Amino acid sequence: MPHISSKGQSMPESPIRKLVPYSELAYKAGKKVYHLNIGQPDIKTPEVAIEAIKNADIETLAYSRSEGSETYRLKIADYYKKNNINVSHNDIIVTTGGSEALLFAFGSIMDSDDEIIIPEPFYANYNGFSKASGINIVPVISKIEDNFALPPIDAFEALITPKTKAILICNPGNPTGYLYSKEEIKKLAAIVKKHDLYLIADEVYREFVYDNNTFYSIMQEAGLEDHAIMIDSVSKRYSMCGARIGYLVSRNKTFIQTALKFAQARLSPPTLAQIAGEAALDTPQSYFTEVIEEYVLRRNTLITELEKIDNVKVANPNGAFYCIAELPVKNADDFARWLLEHFDVDGETVMVAPAAGFYSTPGVGLNQIRIAYVLNNDSLKKAVNILKEALKVYQD
C-alpha cells in the first residue's frame, strides 16, 4: 500500500463528527436522535441574505479578489466600527470560513515545530489545524471549578519558550461558553507585548453575550496594533454555517501582506457566498435581540435541567451556545457511543460530543461532554431527560 504521511496519521478525528456513523445506525433503527453535539443553529438565516442569493443577477460566477471583494470588505469595516472596532477594509481578508482564516494565520506567523499557547478545553479543530500546519499546541488548563476562567497569567508565562509565537483564545469560548472580561484581555495583552508574541482571538461568537455582560475585543485594546490577529466568521452570527465565509483581521500590515499570499494561492473565497455575507450585514438588530433572548432561555433551561441530575457538574456559560458538563462516568466517549447504539427512551436518544477531544493534554476531560444548546426548549428538556435516565442504568 502507498505511504500515508505521519502528519495524516496523527491528524485527530473530530469529537463533534466522529460519532456520525453511530447516529446514522440509530436513525436506521427507527430512533429519533437529539443532536447536542454540533453547533449548527436551528435559527433561520436572515431573510436579507437568502433574498440576495435568490436575486443575484449573475451570468458568469467568476473569481473574486483573493482578499475578498472591496465592497464587501468596506461594509465589514463599517460593521466593526459600529462595534467599536476601528479597522480599514485593507486590514481584512475574506476567507473560506473562519477555519481558513486560522490556517492562514498559523502559516503566516509560525514555522514547523513552533509553539502556540492555548487555554484548554478549546475548539477541537485547533488540534487539527496545528497538526496540518506542523506546529505544536502548548496547553494551559482552565478548570470547570472556575467556570473555565482565564488561568493565572503566570501559568502562561511559565510556558513561554523561544519557540512560542502566539497565544490563542476563543472569546466567547467554544466549548465552554466562557466570556473573557476586559481585565483578562488586558492581562493577555500585557504578556504578548512583554514577550513580543501575537495574540490571536477567535471572536466568531461576538454577538452571543448574556446576562448584561459586555464583549471586549482584542482589537479594542490600545497598543496591540502589531500583535492582535482576529478570526471571525458569518457562520454562527447569521446562522449561515454552509456559506463558509470568514474574516482574518489585523492592523499589522506585514502580517496581512503575508497572509494575502496564502489567500492568493487558493485563488479566492466563494463569490456567491460573499454576496450572501455582504447582504447579511444589513440584518436588523431585532434579529439579534430575538436570537439572544432565545439562547438565554435555552441556556437557562439546559443548566437548570442538568443541575437536577445527581453527580453532574456543569459550568454556566455567559456567551456562545455551548457548555461543558462533567458526568459520573469514566469515559464519556464510550458513554456517547452507548447512547446511540444501545439506549433510548420511547424510541428517542441523544448525541453529545465527548469533551476529551477539546483538550490536547492526554487523559484530561475523559468524563466531560460538550453540549450545544441549539435545539428548541422542549427538545432540550427531552434530551436532558434522556441523559438522566441513561446515567441511571449505564455501567462503565
Q: Is 322 within 8 Å of 233 (Cβ atoms)? A: no
Joined grid coordinates for residue 304 = 437548570
Average model confidence (pLDDT) across the chain: 96
160 lies in the same domain as 140: yes
* Alpha carbon of residue 298 to chain centroid: 19
Q: Which domain holds residue 241?
A: 58-280
pLDDT digits (tens, 9 = 90+) for 208-253: 999 999 999 999 999 999 999 999 999 999 999 999 999 999 999 9
18 lies in the same domain as 65: no
Where helices occur in 266-376 by DSSP H, the ranges are 271-280, 285-306, 332-342
Backbone angles phi, psi at 260, to 5 degrees: -60, -30
pLDDT of residue 61: 94
Q: Residue 306 — very low, low, confident or very high, per pLDDT cuts 50/70/90?
A: very high
Give the residue from 5, 274, 263 showing the smallest Cα distance to 132. 5
pTM of the model: 0.95
pLDDT of residue 18: 80
Q: Per-residue pLDDT for 204 more than 90?
A: yes
Q: What percent of the chain has pLDDT over 90?
A: 92
Task: Write down the residue that cell numbers 502562561 correspond to.
Answer: 156
104 lies in the same domain as 30: no
199 lies in the same domain as 338: no
When pLDDT is averaged across residues 321-342 and rounded to a whole number, the result is 96
Query: What is the domain count for the chain?
Result: 2
307 lies in the same domain as 183: no
pLDDT digits (tens, 9 = 90+) for 76-134: 999 999 999 999 999 999 999 999 999 999 999 999 999 999 999 999 999 999 999 99
Characterize 266-290 residue by residue with b for buried, 16 or more Cβ atoms within 10 angstroms of its Cβ, and e for exposed: eebbbbebbbbbbbbbebeeebeee
Q: What share of the chain is helix, strand, coil (3-state, %, to 5)?
A: 40, 15, 40
Cβ neighbours, 10 Å, residue 136: 16
pLDDT digits (tens, 9 = 90+) for 124-175: 999 999 999 999 999 999 999 999 999 999 999 999 999 999 999 999 999 9
273 lies in the same domain as 190: yes
Q: Residue 40 — very low, low, confident or very high, per pLDDT cuts 50/70/90?
A: confident
204 lies in the same domain as 70: yes
Q: Per-residue pLDDT for 16 more than 90?
A: no
361 lies in the same domain as 384: yes
Domain C-terminal end among 256, 280, 304: 280
Q: Residue 6 — very low, low, confident or very high, per pLDDT cuts 50/70/90?
A: confident
What CATH number did the domain enclosing 187 receive? 3.40.640.10
User: Residue 223 in 3-state DSSP?
Assistant: coil
For residue 20, with 0-12 CB atoms within 10 Å meaning exposed, 13-18 middle and 19 or more buried, which class applies? middle
Q: Residue 13 — very low, low, confident or very high, per pLDDT cuts 50/70/90?
A: confident
Q: Per-residue pLDDT for 38 more than 90?
A: no
Where helices occur in 11-124 by DSSP H, the ranges are 20-28, 47-54, 70-82, 97-109
Give the residue from 276, 318, 308 showing the smallest Cα distance to 387. 308
**Amino acid letter for position 301:** T
- Is residue 309 in a domain? yes
User: Residue 186 in 3-state DSSP?
Assistant: helix
pLDDT digits (tens, 9 = 90+) for 260-274: 999 999 999 999 999
Please state, in angstroms and rounded to a whole number, the distance separating the CA atoms of residues 56 and 297: 36
- Is residue 327 in a domain? yes
| Beta strand extents in 205-280 (DSSP E only) | 228-233, 246-249
16 lies in the same domain as 97: no
pLDDT digits (tens, 9 = 90+) for 51-75: 999 999 999 999 999 999 999 999 9
Q: Is 96 within 8 Å of 266 (Cβ atoms)? A: yes
When pLDDT is averaged across residues 171-196 and rounded to a whole number, the result is 98
- DSSP class per residue in 128-161: HHHHHHT-EEEEEE--GGGTTPPPPHHHHHTT--
